[in-house]
Every structure is written in C-alpha cells, then in structure tokens.
Structure 1
Amino acid sequence: MRTLFLQAPSFDGFDGGAGARYQMRREVRSFWYPTWLAQPAAMVDGSKLIDAPPHRLTFADIAPYARTYELLVLHTSTPSFNSDVRTAQALKELNPDLKVGLIGAKVAVEPEESLKACHAIDFVARNEFDFTIKEVAEGRDWNRIDGLSYRNDEGVIVHNPDRAILENMDTLPFVTPVYKRDLVIENYFGGYLKHPYISFYTGRGCKSRCTFCLWPQTVGGHHYRTRSIGHVMEELTWAKAAFPQVKEFFFDDDTLTDNIPRVEALAREIGRLGLTWSCNAKANVPRSTLKVMKDNGLRLLLVGYESGNQQILHNIKKGMRVDVARRFTKDCHELGIVIHGTFILGLPGESKETIEETIRFANEINPHTIQVSLAAPYPGTFLYRQAQDTGWLHDTDAELLTDHGTQIAALSYPHLSHTEIFESVEQFYRRFYFRAPKIASIVGEMVRSPEMMRRRLREGVEFFRFLRDRGETST
C-alpha cells in the first residue's frame, strides 16, 4: 500500500515528535527526530515521512497527500491526541478510502479508548509497532496481524494478541536514509546539541524503573536490547558520508550507559571514525568509563537528575543516590564532558523545601545547561496509576498542555498546590541561569564564537518568550 507516515501539525513550536520523551513546547525551539516513525517508514517500500512541526507545515500543506496515499500512519501522544484525531478525520473526509492508523505510547496503552474516540481511526498498533505496520502495509489480513487493534467491517473493535518483543535489533533497517529522503535536518534543533545534529537509537528498553518515564513502560520495555556494534557503525559510516554538515551524533537510547562494556567498546569504534557524539546517561557511570568515552569523541551527556532530594529519588524508583550523582558530575567536569541536566518538579514527596533543595543541588553541581519539567502522569505509567489511586490529579479531565502547547502542573498535593508547582519552574530557571558565574560562562561562549553568539541571542529571545507565555498561563 502507498503509505504516508505523519507527525501532524500542532501547536507552534510543539516538540511532540515520535521520539520526544516530553511532548510540549520547549524553553527554546527544539525538535527531536521522529525516529519511531522513521523506523517503520524504512520498512515500507515507497513510503513517505512528513514531520510537520519542525518543517512548519500546516494542514493545507499536507491535505493534498490524502488523495495520493492508501494508508496513513500517524504518530500521536497524550497531549496531542485530540488535535491528531481532528487531523486524521479531516484527511479521511478528503479521501474516504484512506486507511488510518495510529501509533505511539498513548494508543499502545489505551487502544480501545483511542478507537472509540473517532470513527475515522481504523486501527492502532500497540507496543513495538514496526513489523505490525509493515504487515498492514503489505496488505495482510488484519485478523492475523499481532499487536493490532482495529474496527472490523461490522464496526466491532477487535484486539489481536500482543506482538512478541523484538530481540534481534539488527533486523531493523537504518533510519538515517529516511532522514535523508524526507527531512530537512537543519530544521532539528537541540538547545544543548551542536547544530545540525542527528539522533537515532542503538537499542531499545531501559532496565531502570523510574515511575514517570514514558517509553519503557508503554513501548520499549525494561529489557535493554541492543543492535550489534558493527550494525551501529555501518549506519554511522553511512550517515557521516550522507550528511557531511552534521556536527554531532546523539544516541537516543533511554540509557546508553546501561551496558558499560558495550558503551566502552562502541566508544572505541566511534573514535576510529573521528565523530563528535553524545548520549543519554544515568549519573552513575564510573570515571574510567567516562574517560574511555571522552577520549573517543564524547562531548556531552544528557543526565536525568530529576531531584536533589534522596527521598524523592526513592519514591520514583530512580535507583540513584544523590552523593553518587554529585561525584559523577565532578568527574565529568574534570574530564571536560559537558552535561545537560534534566530535573522534574512535582514528583511524589515534593514540597517547598524539596524544591529549594533541588535548586540548590543544581546550582552546586552546575551542569552546563538544564531543563526543568513538570511531573507528567502519562497513561500507562506507574505515576499515572499512583496519581489516580491517591487523588493527586488536579483535574482528572485536564490535558497535559495549555492552549499555548506548554506543560501544565497536572499533580497537586495537600501541602503543595499545582499552582505552586507550576510557578516553581520559572523560579528554578531564573535562579540557575541568572547567577553571575553562569552569565559569565554564557557570555564567554558568545565572545569566542560568532555562531554561538547568534544562537544564544536567538535562544535568549525564545527563552524569555517562553517565560512570558507561562506567565499568561498561570493567570
């Protein structure tokens, strides 16, 4: 079937692509690659991938495709679901014969509800959906496709058996050729990554059990399955030649450092290619491993600290100690590894005192840049079930985003209101970035590089606009 893979138009600047862990507008304009869409697109001959938000495409831009394709596969998320459904319905009105399917964490855990939400949706693909979509595109009988939930000819919703988890990751084709074919990579930004950058996965799953984390609890699972190092290096070699303008490769595995021997072996191979790279990491990597990574091209680690309070880390099953994270960060500073630290406010156990503790912790360890998010109870996560059971949900019918596309504070506690949690994000940012040493560091970057000066000035404008929009939201 002629197949269109789509990330639909949404809020201006909305980073909800099939790869983003938090679907929302960022503090500065940032977009993750739609890797979860590109993977099945690479498996379907003659397919096309459209990633509307980073390419600033409107519904009018994508509408003509409705008449030229037979199958539409649309990635959706909890925050963007209602908008995505409207897009699917409008496209089907243009072509009633168009078969429409949804993929993503939202439909993986709520297939029945998702299908009932709109009759324009013919099917959803649950869990790991790559081969499910491939088989749909091949025209197989839907009743024989594992992992598929669909509406049959009588209008009855049918749920086929689950698809077995994919163990041999080398059976998946490269995604970077799809990027080359269908995307303008210069439209993808990361506030802490060199530009232009490329990201893709070397494995799926995460052995950690963080209660809030979306992908391992809905699609990827907690068993970290990896591509062979040779397979990864083949794609890197291809991508290096295909994208000579790329300045950094980011490995988007939930935690690349979950397998220490493998990450060291992978680093040594990357070092032979002479690439600059970065990855997600837990704040417990041994110094010896960090040195191997740094010596072989590692520039930056994205580290989920979440909180500076030990009890909160226990509450969310982070499996991390604050003192270990502090020592890890010191090692990174000494080795010259840049850190982008991520923090979450409003997790179970949060109070005014723990927020203050986390802000002080962030200032003390001083990562180069930070991201501060609000605790988001996505359906399918332990945090969502916990919030339902305890009555922490501020509004059980609320969306996870405002009309601007920014996060709301979905959780509220007897001792800490959702408004206080929401407002603490701006306080966190201001107290971290408006310190004299941090300002001096940013100015130093700008003085040394005209390119960095242009970038930081643009990001500064976007950052203050973000704070302004949040202020309007809070009122």
Structure 2
Amino acid sequence: MMRTLFLQAPSFDGFDGGAGSRYQARREVQSFWYPTWLAQPAALVEGSKLIDAPPHRIGLEEVVKQARDYDLAVLHTSTPSFRSDVKTIEAMKAANPDLKVGLIGAKVAVDGDKSLETAPLVDFVARNEFDFAIKEAAEGRDLATITGLTWRNKAGAIVRNPDRPVLENMDLLPFVTPVYKRDLTIENYFNGYLKHPYLSFYTGRGCKSRCTYCLWPQTVGGHRYRTRSVGHVIEEVRWARAAFPQVKEFFFDDDTLTDDAPRTEAIARELGKLGIVWACNAKPNVKRSTLKVMKDNGCRLLLVGYESGNQQILHNIKKGILVDVAKRFTKDCHELGIVIHGTFILGLPGETSETIRQTIQYAKEINPHTIQVSLAAPYPGTFLYKQALENGWLDDANADLVNDDGVQIAPLHYPHLAHSEIFRSVDEFYRSFYFRIPKIASIVGEMALSPEMMKRRLKEGVEFFRFLRERREVAP
C-alpha cells in the first residue's frame, strides 16, 4: 500500500469548496461542509491521512512539508479551485519529485483529458464514482488495469481506461466517521442553520431528479438512488455518537433522502430510539404523514431546495415540483414544528426582473426560518452548462464561476437580463427577506432564549453585513 495523502488544498480565504460542498464558493456566513467525498476513499486506504486545509487553516507551506512523507497524493478539485489546486501540486512535486498525484471531483469526472493536459504534473484522474479506483491506485496496481481512470503513460500520452461500473452494494463502503475522528477537528465545521458541532455523511448516492443545474447526480452520483441498508446507517450513527459525544445534530447529506419515503420513515424510527437530533435535504413535496414520522423521531430541520417561485422556471430546470405543492409542504412543516432552511437560485433560464421579484415575494410568503440565495452556476457536465454554451449565455471570462476572492459571480446573462442585475438581486433578496419586523423578532427571540445562540447570531450578522459590503464593492 502506497503512503497516501488525501487533500483538500488551501484556497481562497473562507472558501467552502470542499469535497462535500454543493456550491463551491465563499458563503455569506462562513461555513464548511465535511469532505465526505475524500473521506470515503480515505477509509478504504489503510494508513492514509486526510488533510482538509481550508477549515483547519492549514497553509501551503505546511501542506508541502507533510507531502514529503507520502508516495501518493489524491486531491479533490472543482471548477473554481482548479487553478489554485494545480499550484499546490506544483509546490508538492517540487518538494517531493517522486510523489504521484491523482485528482477526483466533478470537474475531472467530466473533463479528465483536458484536466491532465492543463496540469502536466498530475499523473491520473479518477472519473465518476472513484472510491475503489483510488483504493486500487493506492495499492500500487498498474494504472492501465484500473477501470475508471484517465492517466498519463511514460511517454506522456493520455490514456482513458474503460468506465467503472457504479457500486450497487453501498454497504461495501466503510464508515467515513472514523476518518473524521482520526484526521479532522469537527468543531471547525459549521454553518448558519445546523446546531454546532454537527456531523454529516451520506446514507446513499444518486438522485432520480433531473434538475438541469445540479452537479453531483450529473457527474458522480448518477440518477439512481442507491442506498445503504437501514442497519448499516444506524450502526454508523451509534459509532459516531460514542466517538463524538459533543455532536448536537446529525445531517444526512443524500441529494434527497426523502425520495424513498418508506426507507426514510424506517431510518427515522431507528434514530428516534437512539434519541438523535437530525436533519437532511428534502424536496418540497414530502407528504405530511412522512413529515410527522420524521418530526416525532428527532428530525429538527430540513434543507429544502425551492430554487424559484415561478412555475415556468421550475419547468425549465426540470425541477419536478409544483409551487402549490411546495406551499402545502411548507405549511405542513410549520404546523409540525420542522424548521426549514430554504435555498433559492437566481439567474436560471427564463429569469426576468419580474420573476426575481416573484421569487422574493414567494420566499417571504412561505417564510422558511433561514435562506440561502445562490447565483445559477453552470458547472461543466451539467445540462445547464450545455444550454449556456449553445445559447451564448456564458462568457469565457466567467467560466471559473467565482471572482479572485472566491465569491460567486453571476456567470450567466440573457438578452433581456444582464449579469449586473442578477448579481445585485441577491442583496435585494436577502434584505427584503430578513429586514422584516416579524423575521427580526423571530431571530431576536431565538437569541434571547440562548446565550450561545446570541453569540453565534451576532457573529454571523457581522459576517453577513461584511459579505454584502464586499459584494457591492465588486459588483459588475
């Protein structure tokens, strides 16, 4: 077994571009997701080490120092961080010329050949579902024999091996939480809506939905929801609860755990027996009966992708959700006492000044507890990216999707809607939603009940206003 380092490299200050982040950019309130997509192959490679540099504030000098002790480095990369990641590889190879380097992530899953051409010091990339391909590479096998790899041979030629079949038995994957315990400081992972400290991992991969913008199902996970057995999931929760007694909430990061309602209810009932507080991603179409089972068994919060309040835009992006159904779902959650963090995207195909106003009004009407407003990001490998190129919506200058500070830009534009208007609408959205007397009263009331929450919300408030100021300074 090669001495293997798994690395999320240093990047923009506060950049949440890790191997679990759905939108790789700096956030309005600093947050970090667990590097689950790196931790999973790390769990398969005996004696490996995982360094997640951004949340642990580990700089390039320290990464290079540690890389001297390894034979193989596997880095997660993304469209926004690729150029920075290549510079890290150059520094590591300068210090350790014998180091082999591989890349994983959605970017190289769909663009392996070009990624190797652009980064001549990278030895291979692992496409799509890469866990066992990386394990075999770490075992020192001939790269020519490993399915799912694109690699550089001794003559410098780029070779694409056959695709690797997707994993059907998800219980074959070892737990990721022991890797968290070994290599990560969990207190460094936080966001504005989950209790702190929290812990997150997957109970399955893939999503049957066909949302045109969504990165992971179109590049790595696929459109079939392949799941771990309920017992396997609960066994990891038990292990993690004993290993991390400080954890206040578990988050299940499946694209949509609620796609399989009977399984969701079965997991919920087992979590209820353990007394676990938990949260998950959900579509805004879950039946009230399932929501009640979830709430009765410890579910505190749902992260819900509403995206837009305009029905035609939802049709355009193949969201598969009706606005009226989403409203009923949200009403059910409010009545049952399930907290919602709602996510919205501005600048999707069909967006106009009027639909932006409509979505802002919609968000105020359904009133999730907290929101996140993102800009439509056409990641390579997605249908949205293909649309953008075919229609001339994406300029080459905006292809990295973030600016030089790691802040999301508005990469798409339309004949009737400019970059600048889409970009500025994010500020308008946040201010219109949060600067309402009922919402302010709700947040103040939350703070009054808990000194810890007061400290946290004040810190987040400072970060939020600083971020809005920075956005105005760089507005196009």
TM over 0.5: yes
Is the 1:218–1:381 Cα contact (8 Å) retained in structure 2? Answer: yes
The alignment partner of 1:437 has SS state of helix
1:343-358 aligned at under 5 Å gives the runs 343-358=344-359
How far 1:350 sits from its partner (Å)? 0.1
Q: How does 1:107-146 map to 2 (within 5 A)?
A: 107-146=108-147
In the aligned structure 2, how far is the partner of 1:465 from the partner of 1:162?
Answer: 46
Per the alignment, residue 40 of structure 2 pairs with 39
The equivalences for 1:289-438 within 5 A come to 289-395=290-396, 398-438=399-439
Alpha-carbon RMSD across the aligned residues, in angstroms, is: 0.7
Q: Does 1:165 align with 2:170?
A: no
Deviation at 1:119, TM superposition (A): 1.2
Alignment of structure 1 residues 34-73 onto 2, 5 Å: 34-73=35-74
After superposition, give the CA deviation of every residue in 1:152-185 in whole Å (9 maximum; x if it has no partner): 0010000000000111000000000000000000
Q: Give the alignment of 1:8-19 within 5 angstroms.
A: 8-19=9-20
Distance 1:409 1:173 in 2: 39
| Structure 1 residues without counterparts, runs of 5 or longer | none
In terms of mean alpha carbon deviation, does 390-399 or 322-331 score higher?
Answer: 390-399
2:29 corresponding residue in structure 1: 28
Alpha-carbon distance between aligned partners in 1 of 2:161 and 2:151, rounded to the nearest angstrom = 8
Q: TM-score, normalised by structure 1?
A: 0.99
Identity, in percent, stands at 77
Spell out, residue by residue over 1:77-114, the C-alpha distance to the aligned partner (whole angstroms, 9 max, x if none).
00100000110111011111000000000000000110
Displacement after TM superposition at 1:62 (Å): 1.1
- Secondary structure (helix, strand or coil) at the match of 1:85 reads helix
Gaps of 5+ in 2: none
Mapped to 2, the partners of 1:105 and 1:394 lie a distance apart of: 21
Aligned 1:444-455 pairs, distance under 5 A = 444-455=445-456
Instruction: Quote the offset at 1:403 in angstroms.
Output: 1.3
Which amino acid counterpart does residue 239 of structure 1 have in structure 2? A
- Asked whether the 8 Å contact 2:280–2:301 carries over to 1, the reply is yes
The Cα of 1:394 is off from its aligned counterpart by 3.5
C-alpha distance in structure 1 between counterparts of 2:173 and 2:399, whole Å: 37
TM-score by length of 2: 0.99
> What residue is the counterpart of 1:147 in the other structure?
148
Distance (whole Å) between structure 1 residues aligned to residue 473 and residue 262 of structure 2: 49
Aligned residue for 2:141, secondary structure, equals: coil
> What's the secondary structure of 2:56's corresponding residue?
coil
- Equivalence for 2:94: 93
Tell me, yes or no, if the aligned pair for 1:394 and 1:418 is still in contact at 8 Å: no
Question: Residue 156 in 1 paired to residue 157 in 2?
Answer: yes
Query: In the alignment, what sits opposite 1:230?
Result: 231
Q: Give the CA deviation at 1:66.
A: 1.8
Query: What does residue 181 of structure 2 align with?
Result: 180
Deviations 1:37-74 (A, max 9, x none): 00000000000000000001110121111210000000
CA deviation after TM superposition for structure 1 residue 398, in Å: 3.5
- The answer as to whether partners of 2:303 and 2:343 remain within 8 angstroms in 1 is yes
How many residues are matched?
475
For 1:58, give the aligned amino acid.
G
SS in 2 for 1:42: helix
Q: d(CA) in 1 for partners of 2:349 and 2:441?
A: 35
Per the TM alignment, residue 229 of structure 1 is displaced from its structure 2 partner at its CA by 0.3
> How many angstroms does 1:197 deviate by?
0.1
Answer whether contact 1:75 1:104 (CA < 8 A) is retained.
yes
Please show how residues 257-268 of structure 1 align to structure 2 within 5 Å: 257-268=258-269
The structural deviation recorded for 1:396 is 5.4
Runs of 4+ in 1 over 3 A off after TM superposition: 394-398
Give 1:233-272 correspondences, 5 Å limit: 233-272=234-273
Q: Is the 8 A contact 1:392 1:413 kept in 2?
A: yes
Whether 1:81 aligns to 2:82 is yes
- SS in structure 1 of the partner of residue 101 of structure 2: strand
Contact 2:398 2:411 in 1 (8 A): no
Counterpart residue type for residue 144 of structure 1: T
Post-superposition offset of 1:404: 1.5
Moved more, 83-92 or 292-301: 83-92
- Contact 1:11-1:404 at 8 Å conserved across structures: yes
Which has the higher mean CA deviation after the structures are superposed, 326-335 or 400-409? 400-409
Q: Return the alpha-carbon distance in structure 2 between the equivalents of residues 178 and 238 of structure 1.
A: 12
> Given the superposition, is the C-alpha separation of residues 244 and 288 from structure 1 closer, same or farther in structure 2, using an over 3 Å criterion?
same
CA distance in 1, matches of 2:232, 2:119: 40
Q: Matches of 1:197 and 1:95 in 2, distance apart?
A: 36
Secondary structure of 2:44's partner? Answer: coil
One-letter code aligned to 2:382: T
Q: Secondary structure at the match of 1:288?
A: helix
CA distance in 2, matches of 1:418, 1:459: 27
Matched residue SS, 2:55: coil
1:395, distance to aligned residue in structure 2 (A): 3.6
Name the residue aligned to 1:278: 279
The Cα shift of 1:472 comes to 1.4
For residue 329 of structure 2, what is the amino acid of its counterpart?
Answer: F
Secondary structure at the aligned position of 1:353 is classed as helix
> Any idea what the Cα deviations from partners look like across 1:324-359, whole Å, max 9, x if unmatched?
000000000000000000000000000000000000
**1:219-256 Cα deviation digits (max 9, x unpaired):** 00000000000000110000000000000000000000
- The one-letter code of the counterpart of 2:99 is L
CA distances 1:372-423 after superposition (whole Å, capped 9, x unpaired): 0000000000000000001111445642111111000000000000110000
Q: Any conservation in 2 of the 1:309–1:357 contact (CA below 8 Å)?
A: yes
Q: 1:173-210 CA distances to partner (integer Å, 9 max, x unpaired)?
A: 00000000000000000110000000000000000000
Paired residues of 1:395 and 1:410 also in contact (CA < 8 A): no
State the Cα distance separating 1:469 from its structure 2 match.
1.2
1:193 to 2:194 alignment: yes
| Structure 2 counterpart of 1:467, one-letter code | L
Instruction: Return the letter of the residue paired with 1:217.
Output: Q
Letter in 1 for 2:310: N
